[in-house]
Amino acid sequence: MTYKEVPPNPSALVFSLRSIGYDVMTAVADIIDNSITAKADKVEIDFKWNDGNAKVYIKDNGCGMTEAQLVAAMRIGDKNPLDQRDKNDLGRFSMGLKTASFSQCKRLSVYTKTALNGAYAKAWDLDHILETSRWELEEIEADGINLGSYGTLVIWDKIDKLPETEACFYLLAQEVENYLSQIFHNYIGKVEIKINGNIIEPWDPFLKSNNFTLQLRQETIGETKITPYILPHDSNLSEEEKIYLKGTKGWGGHQGFYVYRNNRLIINGDWLGLYRKDDHFKLARIRIDIENTSDFQWEIDIKKSRAKVPSELRSSLQRIARKARDKAVETYRYRGKQLSRSINVNSSYVWECKKKRGNYKYSINLENEVVKRFMEDNDIGKRKMKNFLGLIEETIPVSTIVGNSEIHKEKVEKPFKGRENEVKIIIKTLYEAMSMSLNEENIKKAMVRIEPLNHYPELIESVVEELKYNNG
């Protein structure tokens, strides 16, 4: 059997690589993957318009490369994607530097320096490859580039996929910043990422800082870890948190699965073909953590922006998602069902919803601290009071409330609006009861998680401080 070597045509191949499907956001993220793998803790990205001769600079303080390592990094397909990777390696195909860069520009220059070696620099110029049809890597002078003691600088030049105006160019830079804040939110803090001098802040899609975010039971299936989260109801969010959670795709656009590969976000809110997006499930966000050993199982693409659910995980993910979606729709429709993770659940909400024979039944939670105190302090008698509350439960106009909430979502009035004096009385009453077993700080933490007081955190703070002062 005989074989004949038929190498690919350089100019044809390299221009095909430009059409893999990167946009500027996924391209920049792919370069930063290399910086993080190189153990950088600082990455600086600069978009420079230069009167239309735009350039993008991506500089890190990672370990840098020797000249041989730089040549290998610039080679198309230097490593076999089937090779075993270090568990913290964010790469796979050894193509990201080239394919990401070529998708945006026709000239890629890389300057690098290690702690023990001098600086080296190489460049690919696609115009030269087109003209010569040869893989000729350009040797360029490394002097004059400040890399400190070590690090790497990537420069995109001859950018031919640009917005037409300077304003749109810098608006694109802002979009990149927003995207990176999501993709690398688990790394930001350990790694400082700047874009045009601005430090990028992390975007946590699960808002774990809010005590009303509900984490459901975590499951581990093989090497895959699944953690469902239910975001707080609108009434338990500040205006800043509401804007924050919209991210770049809006509340509804960010629902679904979040696939992380080595802590780096791959899929940013998608039901992965298992379910359709629907506004009723917008509070459900499910984290999936995989290792880089699962790349082929999940069919991670070269851009690290797409994944496919393995057949052996499909039914398990459907089951987990179904439970999360059911919990999300309860929270979305019934404010009282959103529970705090750090307080007795029976004391937090006023209304509870129970499903029986396919029908929903709404009742007042007699264990709610406010309701309980009211029951204990009234002069009517507990039996008569329960009968009265039962009348309210049986006559609640559910269909009208649901209809109005769907039509006028933004106009739902918070409890006791304009009647803060009544809220103060409730706070003082609960303070007297709770002070028998809790200190002031824990009383405030407990109250801010109880309906309807959760709408008045500042009032709780001021009233408790006033009572603390008056009591000496």
Based on the fold, state whether residues 136 and 41 are members of the same structural domain.
Answer: yes
**Is residue 124 helix, strand or coil?**
strand
Based on the fold, state whether residues 60 and 190 are members of the same structural domain.
Answer: yes
Q: Would you state the pLDDT for residue 86?
A: 52
Q: Provide the CATH number for the domain around residue 320.
A: 3.30.230
Q: β-strands 151-159, 192-195: how paired?
A: unpaired
Please report, rounded to a whole number, the percentage of residues in the chain having pLDDT higher than 70: 82
Based on the fold, state whether residues 250 and 353 are members of the same structural domain.
Answer: no
Based on the fold, state whether residues 174 and 280 are members of the same structural domain.
Answer: no
The 10s digit of each residue's pLDDT in 153-172 is 999 999 987 787 899 999 99
- What's this model's pTM, rounded to 2 decimal places? 0.68
Q: Which residue has the higher pLDDT, 71 or 345?
A: 71
* 221 within a domain of the structure (yes/no): yes
Instruction: Give helix 440-447 / helix 457-470 axis angle, nearest 10°.
Output: 150
313 pLDDT exceeds 80?
yes
- Residue 348 confidence class, pLDDT cut points 50, 70, 90: low
Query: How many Cβ atoms from other residues are within 10 Å of residue 463's Cβ?
Result: 22
Based on the fold, state whether residues 333 and 352 are members of the same structural domain.
Answer: no
Based on the fold, state whether residues 319 and 441 are members of the same structural domain.
Answer: no
* 42 within a domain of the structure (yes/no): yes
Based on the fold, state whether residues 259 and 328 are members of the same structural domain.
Answer: yes
Q: Which residues contact 324 (CB under 8 A, 6 or more apart)?
A: 216, 228, 229, 230, 284, 286
Based on the fold, state whether residues 117 and 226 are members of the same structural domain.
Answer: no
Based on the fold, state whether residues 268 and 124 are members of the same structural domain.
Answer: no
DSSP at 233: P
192 pLDDT exceeds 80?
yes
Task: Note whether 40 and 154 are within 8 A (CB).
Answer: no
Q: Which residue has the higher pLDDT, 126 or 369?
A: 126
Among residues 317, 337, 357, which one ends one of the domains?
337
* 226 within a domain of the structure (yes/no): yes
Taking the C-alpha atoms of residue 228 and residue 218, their distance in angstroms, rounded to an integer, is 7
DSSP for 23-81? -HHHHHHHHHHHHHHTT-SEEEEEEE-GGG--EEEEEE-S----HHHHHHHHSTT-S-T
* 208 within a domain of the structure (yes/no): no
Task: Note whether 277 and 256 are within 8 A (CB).
Answer: yes
279 pLDDT exceeds 90?
no
Based on the fold, state whether residues 170 and 35 are members of the same structural domain.
Answer: yes
Q: Which residues contact 375 (CB under 8 A, 6 or more apart)?
A: 366, 382, 385, 386
Among residues 284, 308, 337, which one ends one of the domains?
337
Task: Note whether 120 and 111 are within 8 A (CB).
Answer: yes
Query: Quick one: which of 375, 377, 367 has its CA closest to 344?
Result: 367
**Structure-block tokens of residue 146:** 């400040």
Q: Provide the CATH number for the domain around residue 85.
A: 3.30.565.10
Query: Quick one: which of 25, 12, 35 has its CA closest to 133?
Result: 12
Instruction: Give the mean pLDDT of 99-109.
Output: 92
341 pLDDT exceeds 70?
no
Query: How many Cβ atoms from other residues are within 10 Å of residue 445's Cβ?
Result: 15
Taking the C-alpha atoms of residue 159 and residue 101, their distance in angstroms, rounded to an integer, is 10
Based on the fold, state whether residues 105 and 21 are members of the same structural domain.
Answer: yes
- Residue 82 confidence class, pLDDT cut points 50, 70, 90: very low
Top-ranked range on mean pLDDT: pick from 84-93, 227-236, 294-303: 227-236
Taking the C-alpha atoms of residue 100 and residue 29, their distance in angstroms, rounded to an integer, is 9
* 343 within a domain of the structure (yes/no): no
Among residues 337, 357, 380, which one ends one of the domains?
337
Q: Would you state the pLDDT for residue 339?
A: 36
Region of poorest pLDDT, from 7-11, 49-53, 277-281, 386-390:
386-390
The 10s digit of each residue's pLDDT in 89-102 is 544 445 778 889 99
Within 223-348, strands assigned E span 224-230, 256-261, 264-270, 284-290
Instruction: Give the mean pLDDT of 115-133.
Output: 92
Total domain count for the chain? 3
Based on the fold, state whether residues 43 and 172 are members of the same structural domain.
Answer: yes
* 309 within a domain of the structure (yes/no): yes
User: Domain range for residue 425?
Assistant: 348-407+417-470
* 412 within a domain of the structure (yes/no): no
Task: Note whether 154 and 101 are within 8 A (CB).
Answer: yes
* 81 within a domain of the structure (yes/no): yes
Amino acid at 428: K
Taking the C-alpha atoms of residue 43 and residue 198, their distance in angstroms, rounded to an integer, is 11
Within 219-378, strands assigned E span 219-221, 224-230, 256-261, 264-270, 284-290, 351-356, 359-364
Taking the C-alpha atoms of residue 410 and residue 82, their distance in angstroms, rounded to an integer, is 52
